[in-house]
A and B are shown apart, each in its own frame.
Chain A
């Protein structure tokens, strides 16, 4: 290898399930080539050996749910040249952002035997609400291919190729039969961003929207369409309140549905 210093990579965890970090380890076939090009300097899920910062590339998983984490993400940002968020939690607050639609005090009392031990914020928020983010990778979990593309683009000093098209285009390229039109199955594909490879429709399931809103989602039309498919207002609210409940377009969708009468 040339004597030039390899860029340093750090992987950080905030409020999350670790699934996106596992996607890094899951790059089995590419991991050795990756380690040749980049120094994995701080990745506690993989190794307890930690090299101090600053870091050239930080991958940040998870959302901010505590005052401590709101402070810690600023420290991470300060020692990172490029900061990439990985996954739905880091991008929009994740499933834990359901608290944003509820009373956290009530949750605390109902869930914990000793609620006084719990220190938490009233909301779960994506990283970009706290610090500038250079790139967001969507998904729950992220796509290995997109992760590799992001790292490869960083190493090659080029713009990453991460289209904000709908899932439908990937579904059609893959050769799936549309589950909405042919089966009447509700599917968030038309309003959801591509990147997963249309996995769920390939198994005859509707898209769950885990990659969040596509670049130009038409939420009012989609809500009317969902009603035409027979979904009730609570059902529509439910499908938008999962992995990306707090993503602005999906938040608008569930709140619009919630504003409607329960019975059709």
Chain B
């Protein structure tokens, strides 16, 4: 069967999964994917299958995340963790260029781009949707971000369809998952039962086909395709959260004075965690870092957040001084004005902002509350 990657779905037994790592390496990729570190499943460099979170799952609620043992040896039996693939395309800190004095003039040395080609192993359907969002942000307009674009051109997107939904997941509401539709090079479905532990592989692009061609796969039985569909359907029916998206753009435009904003502002810590864990939040700031001699200066870019007081600082004072104005800015942008700016919602329904908010602020609950018209204090309803 070697070399027969193209065509319909293929089947690979779990015991052969190490060969998939070898195939990715043979195609020139460095593999990054899920691994257990510090009590969470994070995305990091992977040496082999043993680095995967074998037999681990995550239990998530608003403001709470815990790793737990599964009763089986699933490789991808979790939902999503605290980190996103964004960090491989839009790093948390990045030197953009270095300027050096050159006699009476100066010279600018652009930062060389890292030639590493990453295989992003274990991308979820919602995360592929997130990649589409950041593509629009960084390279969809007239100005293309060179660093993002260079790194983006070198990745291989290996998606894994979700076998379970997390407690804060709502991809069904956002129309982004759990089944993988577009945007992947390879799509995997992990089948734990019935029968032996195995994987269904589908190549969606030439790059995916090249990897698959290096694997000894078999034509997947029709029953396995059906099982994969059932896995996705089961996940879809067990979403931890739901968000009513109907008319949400208008809702957010029309409720700017709703008392719910005061309520959420009383809880919001302005700590930035929601924006740091969001796969689509893209705000950054730039700073000059000169050396002490004044001979060179480096331009760095680092993640910033609309929750920081300094984010809207103009002429020494912040435009959005209150926590209320900052939370409202974030949510109205994410679910509302993002459409006007990028032609899509900024939310992919992954639930990270809910889980990783220390005080458990849940945007699905906030939207639901904004849908309830405020009770007028001036006129009382007749009894």
Q: Is the CB of A182 within 8 A of B92?
A: no
A218, B358: Cα distance in complex, Å: 12
Q: Is the CB of B358 within 8 A of A216?
A: no
Whether a CB of chain B sits under 8 angstroms from the CB of A166 is yes
B82, B287, B303: most-surrounded residue (chain A CB, <10 A) = B82
Q: Is the CB of A165 within 8 A of B272?
A: yes
Q: Is the CB of A169 within 8 A of B38?
A: no
Whether a CB of chain A sits under 8 angstroms from the CB of B377 is no
Partner of B268, one of A164, A214, A218: A218
Q: Is the CB of B37 within 8 A of A225?
A: no
Q: Is the CB of B293 within 8 A of A37?
A: yes
Whether a CB of chain B sits under 8 angstroms from the CB of A183 is yes
Q: Is the CB of A165 within 8 A of B305?
A: yes
Q: Is the CB of B269 within 8 A of A191?
A: yes
Q: Which B residues touch A176, using CB under 8 A? A: 38
Partner of A221, one of B87, B267, B308: B267
Q: Which A residues touch B293, using CB under 8 A? A: 33, 36-37
Q: Which B residues touch A225, using CB under 8 A? A: 269, 358-359
Whether a CB of chain A sits under 8 angstroms from the CB of B63 is yes
Whether a CB of chain A sits under 8 angstroms from the CB of B271 is yes
Q: Is the CB of A172 within 8 A of B277?
A: yes
B299 to chain A, nearest CB (A): 12
A156, A175, A189: most-surrounded residue (chain B CB, <10 A) = A175
Chain A binding surface SS class: helix
Q: Which A residues touch B93, using CB under 8 A? A: 173
Q: Is the CB of A182 within 8 A of B65?
A: yes
Contact with A along B261-304 (1 / 0, CB 8 A): 00000111111110011000000000110111110000000111
A44, B271: Cα distance in complex, Å: 40
- Write the chain A residue with the least CB distance to B87: A175
Q: Is the CB of B305 within 8 A of A178?
A: no
A145 to chain B, nearest CB (A): 10
Chain B positions within 8 Å of A, measured between CB atoms, are 37-40, 42, 63-67, 82-83, 87, 92-93, 266-273, 276-277, 287-288, 290-294, 302-305, 308-310, 321, 323, 355-356, 358-359
Chain A positions within 8 Å of B, measured between CB atoms, are 30, 33-34, 36-37, 148, 151-152, 155-156, 161, 163-166, 168-169, 172-178, 180-184, 187, 189-191, 204, 214-218, 220-222, 224-225
Could you list 24 A-B pairs, sorted by A, with CB under 8 Å? A33-B292, A151-B292, A164-B308, A165-B309, A166-B269, A166-B270, A166-B271, A169-B271, A172-B272, A172-B273, A172-B276, A173-B92, A173-B302, A174-B92, A181-B358, A182-B38, A182-B39, A183-B39, A190-B271, A214-B270, A215-B309, A217-B269, A218-B266, A218-B323
